[in-house]
Structure formats: structure tokens, C-alpha cells
Amino acid sequence: MKINNLIKSPLFKKSIRIVMAIGAGIAATADAIEEQKRDEEFEELKQTVSELQNQDK
């Protein structure tokens, strides 16, 4: 019975929402960092290809 009251508690519900929002923020940040890393690696690859093409000329 106590657990049921806890689950129905407005404070518990608000806490769950806050935890979910924090989790979503962490996931979004991790995705943004991963995307930035991919972009940096792609730029490095483009630079390397450009240097190799210029060596052939």
C-alpha cells in the first residue's frame, strides 16, 4: 500500500519527469558530441585526400 501511495504522489511524478528530462538531455548531448566527432574526422579525411591529390600533380 505504501508503494502505491508513493507512485501516486505528485512529488514522485515530478521527480520522474525531472529524471527523464535529465536523461534526454544527456542523450542529446552525447549525440551532439558524437556528430561533432564524425564531422571532425570527415574534415580530416577530406584534408588528407586533398593532400594526396596535390602530391600526384
Give residue-wise pLDDT tens across range 2-43: 888 888 899 999 999 999 999 999 999 999 999 999 999 999
d(CA 32, CA 57): 38
d(CA 31, CA 24): 11
Stretch 44-51: mean pLDDT, rounded?
94
pLDDT at 1: 62
